Amino acid sequence: MCGIWAVFGSSSDIFIHCKAAFKIAHRGPDAFRLESIYQFPSCCLGFHRLAILDAQHGMQPMRVSQHPHVWLIYNGEIYNHLQLREQFGFQYDTHCDGESIIHLYARGGIEFAAKHMDGVFAFCLLDTASRKVYLGRDTFGVKPLFRIIMEDGFLSVCSEVKGLMDIARYQSNVKIQDVLPGHVETYSLNMKGQASFENMKQFHHIGATPSYTTAATPKGDDIMANIRTLLESAVSKRLMTERRIGCLLSGGLDSSLITALLVKLARERDLAYPIQTFSIGMYGSPDLAAAKVVAKHLGTEHHEIVFTPEEAISTIEDVIYYLESYDALTIRGAVGRHVPDVQYVKENTDTTVMLSGEGSDEITQGYSYFHKAPSAEDGDKESRRLCKDISLFDVRRVDRNSAAFGLEIRVPFLDHQFSSYYLSLDPDLKAPKNGIEKQLLRSAFNDTGLLPADILWRPKEAFADGIASPSKSWIEFIKDFAADQMIDSELELCSRNYSHNPPVSMESLYYRRIFEIPYSWTPKWSSDPSARKPKSNVTNK
């Protein structure tokens, strides 16, 4: 997890803007650098580093001896960087995976580079020879990237919105927009370093077969074997780290499968440390009990984080600040699960990289409302829609929660090869069967011994029920708290006071009020995600 920031074409001293770069310092606690560009004094690149590979030589902005006119800042992991070196004969200056971006660009241009990267990434690449700036983002938008482009040629780029807010507040008609997942944008610079937009191109779309040479080979028509092979390959790639790796374990199917595969691979590679697992819940919650069963079965070094509703609610303001969102479902998930979980990892262990099960519900049709799909084809369309929007919700939560504490969470279910293969399967195979969601995924790992049968076939728990105490759900706690902070007349005025996404409940109004303290603007990247959940899960008080 790192943070990138850049300005191009500043009409004032660039160092006036540089304080904004420190708004994302939490993303990279290990090192920081600001560097101006001698050919373009109105431009500056900033980088906050979480060192995962090549701590000694991987600092950014990155430049390499063979291509000194190329400057790179990026956030992410390029899992196939060694394969690319072999395939194209690249001569690397470092052991850092991101160096492959520079060599790919030099070989075939920016689209060629983006198409050949197996990983998750957000980058800003400056070519001073051609006077071009390129922005790019991975297919699912696992890594965030936002930008402002103004009529006078001022371009500003940042991993998070908060690093652009000073500009947005004091300029008229300014829009902060995200770089779309799976796209690259090209800007040209004039001799003063001022930017003008040239084009935006999609280099990959969700469900498409990867253009690069893949790490695993499907085994003919054996669908079950292919699912196992490709998911294990997805986990295997994500062991690429020089820091300690662990797993967020809820005890549900998705996180349990990822943990089981991680433990299997760790033993095969003879890692020097035991895999740490982390589960969270209120006293007596079903998730804590299930996670304990999985941890015992796999022999992990297990950590339970038990929280009270009051402890979780006390984090709401911080959660909204880091999430940069007022979406109720996203905030509930962040407050009730990841924030206490990730904070504990940071403060009590040396694990820096963690794997998580996010993305499975979208890819494999795990939400309970998929049982009500009119047809298998309709379910498949909804699955693809959720995948397209995942960067706005689940992926945002995972990124911001981990970045807030200088940690990194990786999501194997959103692997290019695994996701494209699973989405390509016949819709009838992927649809829920006999009242069981994700039956295809469960069946693929049946009889493998990776997990106890009662975990592999454990029905999906609604999030609020999984972490809750037996007496009261997490949603009930948080709704009651929010209602106590508001009065009914305030909600009645929402349609008049909020022209964009007016709050529809006391809870959503409470979140919106907090959100607008640091982010007093209209976010084009936020919308109501309630279609992905049963109405009973999102009906607000």
- Cite the annotated binding site for ATP by residue number: 248, 280, 356-357
Could you tell me which of 76, 112, 75 has the C-alpha nearest to residue 201? Answer: 112
How many Å apart are CA 92 and CA 73, to the nearest integer? 17
The DSSP H or E segment spanning 402 is: helix 394-403
What are the counts of helices (DSSP H) followed by strands (DSSP E) for the chain? 24, 17
Binding site as annotated, residues for L-glutamine: 97
For this structure, is 96 an active site residue? no
Count CB neighbours of 458 within 10 A: 19
Q: Give the contacts of 361 (CB within 8 A, at least 6 positions apart).
A: 254, 367, 386
> 210 preceded by cis ω (within 30°)?
no
How many Å apart are CA 413 and CA 234, to the nearest integer? 7
Three-class DSSP category at 44 = strand
Q: Measured at the alpha carbon of residue 380, what is the angle toward residues 375 and 383, in degrees to the nearest 5?
A: 130
Could you tell me which of 242, 204, 208 has the C-alpha nearest to residue 117? Answer: 204
SS3 breakdown of the chain: % helix, strand, coil, rounded to 5? 40, 20, 40
How many Å apart are CA 394 and CA 387, to the nearest integer? 10
Contact 438, 449 (CB under 8 A): no
Write out the DSSP string of 202-215: E---TTSPPSSPPS
Binding site as annotated, residues: 97, 248, 280, 356-357
Which residue in 2, 44, 124, 158 is the catalytic one?
Answer: 2
Tell me which DSSP letter residue 179 carries: P
Count CB neighbours of 480 within 10 A: 15
Contact 413, 419 (CB under 8 A): yes
Tell me which DSSP letter residue 356 carries: -
Three-class DSSP category at 268 = helix
Q: Which ranges of 270-372 would DSSP assign to H, the alpha helix?
A: 286-298, 309-313, 316-323, 328-333, 339-348, 360-363
Known catalytic residues are 2
